[in-house]
A and B are shown apart, each in its own frame.
Chain A
Amino acid sequence: MTYLTTSPLTLESLLAEVSAPHCGGTCAFLGTVRDGPEDGGVTAIEYSAYDAMAEAELDRIVAETRRRWADARVAVRHRLGLVPAEEASIAIAVATPHRADAFAACRYVIEEVKTRLPVWKKELRADGTATWVDPSGHPSMVGPE
């Protein structure tokens, strides 16, 4: 399975992957590059990964999801490279027999991705600056201090 791509993400292909007669609920999540008022003019984010581990970790997350929600069908893609603001960096689709499990399982996948996936992002701004993003709250400028 290849979960990583440098191409734009579309939900349609993921929804087709998880579609099944026994599933009555499908939950889809898109994570998109944000430029909010507090983000300082982000034009794009450059995503990089430890590719082999990211693939292995996503394999493990998908397997755990299927173990926890036995009838769940799960599809995930993470985009790498330059992703412009408003475009998706991650797409997840989960289909289960009933809706509550679809929401829960989809949430499980994105939360595990956030804490476990070896992926990094560098925010690029309109003023030409670039910053490595540290979700733990310690932003650092690119390059040695």
Chain B
Amino acid sequence: MMSPSGTLGTVRVRFFARYAELAGRSEGTVTIPLPATVSDVMKQVRDAWPGASALPAQPLAALNLRHVRLDAPVSDGDELALLPPLAGG
């Protein structure tokens, strides 16, 4: 449990293509103690939904429409997208 002084952040998580099939959903919401990184959210995601545990531990990620590293900090209200290997063009 969080200490009363702790801050919780809510992050909208989006799944695409094969990851959406694995997770069985296209989006969800994760509440996490702050400060936290993309990696921390990822750990929670893999525990949150059946099927999501099959997602790679270190996927490509985008925060608020920009590619980010997994050590990037997340803030309350952020949108985190988990991106399967890119295949555009």
Contact = CB atoms under 8 A, between A and B. Distances in A.
**A and B together in one complex:** yes
Given A50-B81, A90-B89, A110-B89, A120 B17 contact: yes
A54 B88 contact: yes
Nearest to A58: B88
Contacts of A110: 89
Given A50-B83, A52-B65, A56-B65, A114 B22 contact: no
Interface residues of B, number: 20
A140 interface: yes
Contact of A132 (B17, B67, B83, B89): B17
A105 B51 CA distance: 42
Contacts, number: 77
Contact of B88 (A56, A117, A134, A142): A117
- B22, B54, B81, B86: which has the most chain A beta carbons within 10 Å? B86
B88 A118 contact: yes
Interface string A114-145: 11111111100000000011111010101111
Interface in B39-89: 51, 54, 62, 65-67, 81, 83-89
B88 A113 contact: yes
B64 to A, nearest CB: 9
Contacts of A117: 86, 88-89
A47 B85 CA distance: 13
A78 interface: yes
Say what secondary structure dominates the interface of chain A.
Answer: mixed
A118 B18 CA distance: 13
Nearest to B83: A118
Contact of B85 (A31, A78, A136, A144): A136
17 contacts: A50-B81, A56-B66, A89-B89, A114-B86, A118-B16, A118-B83, A118-B88, A120-B16, A121-B87, A132-B84, A132-B87, A134-B87, A136-B85, A142-B18, A144-B21, A144-B54, A145-B54
